[in-house]
Amino acid sequence: MDYLKKTFRWFGPEFGVSLSDIKQLGVEGIVAACQKVPIGEVWPVETIATLRSEIMAHGMEWAVVESVNIHTAIKYGLPERDTYIANYIQTLKNLAENGIYDVCYNFMQLIDWTRTDLDYILPTGASALRYSPVSASAFDLFILERENAKESYTKEAYDDAKTYFDALTYLEKKKLEESILSGMPGSKKLIALEEFKANHATVLKISKKQLQDNLSYFLNAVIPEAEKIGVRMAVHPDDPPFSVFGVPRIVSNYQEIKFLLECCPSSSNGLTFCSGSLGASSSNDLVKIIEDFGEKIHFIHLRNVTREEDGSFYEADHLNGSVPIEKVMKALIKQQQARKRSNNGIVGIPMRPDHGHVLLDDKRRQIEFYSGYSLIGRAIGLSQLTGLEMGIREGLQV
């Protein structure tokens, strides 16, 4: 039976999770990146080979690269973007030379994801990541101090944000700031607020259409080369899937996914299906996205979120939340079955449990996990998803 390929993201031993730890979970593949190579530079063949060998020495494969990050010159359409695109293509060639063919990336502006609380305490006592629109508005208005930001909020929303912000202590304000400036996976270093402000001011001058054009330019330069060497590119949806701090989103819903897949038609131009990112918006029909774009799904992130009435959401238990995870899993399995029948596409699609609660010994160990990437919470998620997959497969055989 062709199960989803079980993978686990690993940032390196300095993030508190070892390859030996992960091996004990029965994981087949590692999701990793050459974190220390600056964004925009070519990943050397030797650096890739060394990391691959380290992973293989623990009996696993380097299954997916997450991520080969895209330089801001490409995202912003700057004159020097062609140089960085050439570097990107060379990195893909170097990965293929090492037998690594699945690459996750994103085209998000400023930071890779936005949360306003990295230590939200659940009723169980475990902690999770959370996004609050009131907190985000307070950051936008009174810390970021975006020009003309007040005009983009209703009077009620502005008043709520001001009341909330005024009630915060100095340390709580710093915690909010640091939570938002932590959104770059693979680094424990906060983005400097002044750097964030400068980049933010640049992005605000770029329209949504121009950002989409910049994405199309990148894809039409990179995808033909990726196809030649058998590399599958898989874009990660924007997280959260709605505008934050006045910056437009371009990979957040059905129509935007359709645009990026159609702007450069190729088997190498695909999607990282992330149930948590897309599921943070109630308007996204996750099953329909799988059904209509399933043949382009090259990588899967599975997690759940609980959406709240005020637009907040927090990262829930993998099996419980606002995302109909059993319907999502069933649609993914049906996509696998279709691939097997047609003998077209990778049947064992790489899947990783995305994020996880901090609980049990992970709370007690003096380890600084990267937010969302504790060991035990993700291990529980993997076991839950594996059981769900097995049960659904058995049901489909009846």
Active-site annotation, residues: 236, 274, 301, 354-355, 373
Q: What are the tokens at 296?
A: 């382009």
Residue holding tokens 């990726």? 226
- Strand partners of residue 313: 131, 307
Could you give the CA distance from residue 355 to residue 370 in angstroms, rounded to a whole number? 10
Q: Which residues contact 57 (CB under 8 A, 6 or more apart)?
A: none
Cα–Cα dist 297/335, whole Å: 9
Distance CA 132, CA 118 (A): 11
Q: Hey, which residues does 32 pair with through a beta bridge?
A: 65
Contact 295, 346 (CB under 8 A): no
**H or E element, residue 65:** strand 61-66
Looking up tokens 């994020």 gives: 355
CA distance 300 to 132: 26
- Extract the tokens encoding 122: 């659940």
Angstrom distance (rounded) from CA 140 to CA 159: 13
- 127 and 358 in contact (C-beta within 8 Å)? yes
Q: Rounded to whole angstroms, what are the CA distances from 260 to 118, 138, 208, 216, 266?
A: 31, 33, 13, 7, 11
Whether the bond into 67 is cis, omega within 30 of 0: yes
> Could you tell me if 7 and 369 are in contact, meaning their C-beta atoms sit under 8 angstroms apart?
no
CB 280 within 8 A of CB 313: yes
**Helix/strand/coil for 127:** strand
Contact 263, 309 (CB under 8 A): no
